[in-house]
Every structure is written in structure tokens, then in C-alpha cells.
A and B are shown apart, each in its own frame.
Chain A
């Protein structure tokens, strides 16, 4: 599945990042890339894939 990053910058210059096709920690790594633009205020939207990976990891333990 293609990994698509959509960054939205609102009228105030604040941004949110929407990730598609990422699983688990991959989300956080990409999130950190864009946090550098505005500091820690970047909002992230976690897709079902994120939690799917996290659940899988739990079952493997």
C-alpha cells in the first residue's frame, strides 16, 4: 500500500499531518519530520493501520 502524507496548514499557520498506509512506529517517525517546522504543535491523525500494527505486536509477545 502506498504511503501518502498529507500536510494541512490552516489560516493561523498551524499544521496537521494525515498519514495513509503507515503502520505502528512508522507514523511517529514521519510525524517527527514535520514537527520540526512548527515545534510540537503538529497534530497527528492516526489511521486504523496504526492500531492494527500495535495490536499485532501485543499478540506476538
Chain B
């Protein structure tokens, strides 16, 4: 579902990963011991958006997002890191991503941002459409 690379990087920044590698050509992912990983690809896992293991922290493996033929980026998360990058973490990343894409799209379409609220765990964004249509 991640189509906008810039917003994905911004969302990862928002999740606390301030250093995120971006590559037009997918690069190899490494495990906590510095060995090339082969979770999904026997020739080696490669990703275009990467949070390296020393940024993830602890004895983590690299976290990657690989560009797919349909233009979306899909996560490559090791089984070892599932406890940190679990379903709740992925939901939080998606929320952050969707918010950033919404803001970008609204700005691109000339909508005026009115404000942001969090109500019962839901993010609410409001815009004023003063375009002449």
C-alpha cells in the first residue's frame, strides 16, 4: 500500500528512525551479525528503503521496504524482529504514512489545512476547500 516513497520515509522518521536509506537500485539487507539475509529471496533480500540494524537498535536485523512491480513498497521484516515490528507497529506506520500522504495531496490540490485532532485514537484532519468549483 506504500506508494509514495517520500511519505514512507517521513513515516519511518516519525516512528523514530531518523536515518533511512533510499536507493533507486535495491540494496542487500543484513542480519544482526552482518550476514546477508535470505528471508524472501534465496539470492539475498534487497530493498529500496532501508533502516539499518544499528538504527533499529539492539540485536536487530535490517528493516527493508522493497519496490514491487506495481509501484508499491512492501516490508521485509525478519522473524526475529517481529516482536518489535509487529502488527501494531505496522498499523502505526500505516497511520503515519496515510496522514502524510493526505497532507501532501491536500496541499497539491490547493486545500487549506484547518487543523489536526486525535479523538479516541483516531486522527482527524480538516481542510477548507476554497477553490472556485
The interface of chain A, by Cβ under 8 A from chain B, is 2-13, 15, 21-22, 26, 29-30, 33-34, 36-39
Q: Could you write out 12 A-B pairs with CB less than 8 Å apart?
A: A2-B128, A4-B114, A5-B106, A5-B111, A5-B129, A9-B98, A9-B124, A9-B125, A13-B98, A34-B102, A34-B106, A36-B101
Chain A residues with Cβ below 8 Å from B111 are 5, 33
B39 within 8 A of A: no
Secondary structure at the B interface, as helix, strand, loop or mixed, is mixed
CB-defined interface of B100-133 with A at 8 Å, one 1/0 digit per residue? Answer: 0110011001010010000001111111111001
Looking at chain B, what size class is its interface with the partner chain? 20 to 34
B38 within 8 A of A: no
B109 & A13 in contact (Cβ 8 Å cutoff) = no
Chain B residues with Cβ below 8 Å from A33 are 105-106, 109, 111
A28 CB, nearest partner CB in chain B, Å: 12
Of B16-24, B55-63, B74-82, B89-97, the one with at least 4 CB within 8 A of chain A: B89-97
B128 & A4 in contact (Cβ 8 Å cutoff) = yes
